[in-house]
Amino acid sequence: MGTDHLMNNVPEVDNLLYQSLDIPKLAIAASNLGVWFLDLQTSTFLPSARMKELHGYFVQEEMSFEAVLAQIPKKYRLKVISIMKEAANRQEPFYLEYPVVGFHDQQQRWLRAMGGSDQSTGKTTHFSGVIMDITESKQNELRRNRFIGMVSHELKTPLTALNAYIQLLNKWAKQKKDIFTVGALSKLQKQVKKMTTMINGFLNFSGAESGKIHLNKSNFDINELLKEVIAEISDVSPERVIILKNPAEIMVSADRDKIEQVIINLVSNAAKYSGPKKPVEVICEQDKTRLTVSIKDTGMGIEQKDIDKLFKPHSRITTSQTENISGFGIGLYLCAEIIKFHGGDIGVKSQPNIGSTFWFMLPR
């Protein structure tokens, strides 16, 4: 009887114990996260003990927001400030990865910060968020990117030699009027160019990760470039239907080779994810200050929750529709970095099962 009475009260005791627990606090402690709060009106900055540790401070020490920014290397600091300001203006959450140098220990750590602003009053009054140590995973990523850059650089030398031999053979075949060989070499040269584009993509990716994309700007007709890219993709994949609208001359000052990479990537993706015979529309428009290139498809589309992942490195959206489509997950990230270095913008509008429109803007 007494035992039954005790057993009947166990759920009630457990429930009271559960209610007394601070679940968010326990979760933060278990995940080793730092927590911080910044009041923009009073400049009050409240970091947790773990936040101080990640920045090389002693737990009992005071740490200001200005001190946090000072520990970020300059080339990353400006980006952090810019993203936080943009998040404040748009009243949106932010996501950051950056290195810091510890205040006392002088150790470099890579940190990931996620947070947002107070939106209850209609204007940003404070920021708050969490921060975590990603040093080990970031170092692995940087080593992998250096390896990709090194291998890609080594591959360029034999590929350049191969292209030179193809050109010599092509010249010889034309002199001999060997139509079959000329045609075969032409196709081979297109494949070499495709491989060169891929290798250049890896090299640029490696450069983007280290903040070193070099631009060789020139003036060129972007619609002429669009025609060339569409013709090449159509030659390799004749089943694709790619239509260029508004093909009038539009001059732009940019790095032609790198903008070509962006266009190849976006148009190829649109064709690849749309399937055969489904049309892809390419549109170039301009006004007094900028030009915009849009690539519209009628393919599988993208879920809203996945759109934020698209332009991050090594990020691929895997579904039952995409699991058999090859890719490295660096193409869109590289496109975004190239456009950013040109002072432009890139984005996408999409609806599942209806299609997507990828676009990029360049200043004129």
pLDDT digits (tens, 9 = 90+) for 215-241: 888 999 999 999 988 988 887 777 788
The answer to whether 79 and 24 are in contact (CB under 8 A) is no
Q: Do 125 and 106 fall into the same domain?
A: yes
Check: CB of residue 338 under 8 Å from CB of residue 259: yes
Of the pLDDT bands very low, low, confident and very high (cuts 50, 70, 90), residue 13 is: very low
If asked whether residues 189 and 291 sit together in one domain, one would say: no
Average pLDDT for residues 234-256, to the nearest whole number? 85
Res. 341 pLDDT band, cuts 50 70 90: confident
Domain end call among 133, 168, 192: 133
Asked if 115 and 28 sit in the same domain, the reply is: yes
What residue numbers bound the domain in which 238 lies?
217-363
Amino acid identity of residue 64, one-letter, is S
121/142 same-domain check: no
Q: Residue 206 above 70 pLDDT?
A: no
Same domain, 229 and 188: no
Q: 273 and 354 in one domain? A: yes
What is the share, in percent, of the chain residues with pLDDT greater than 70? 80
Q: Coil, strand, or helix at residue 123?
A: coil
Q: How confident is the model at residue 300 (pLDDT cuts 50, 70, 90)?
A: confident
Question: Looking at 76, 109, 133, which one is the last position of a domain?
Answer: 133
Residue owning tokens 């205040």? 103
Q: Give me the sheet containing 355-363, strands edge to edge.
A: 241-245, 279-286, 290-297, 355-363, 345-351
Number of folded domains in the chain? 3
Clarify whether residues 232 and 124 are in a common domain.
Answer: no
| pTM (2 d.p.) | 0.53
CATH number for the domain that contains residue 200: 1.10.287
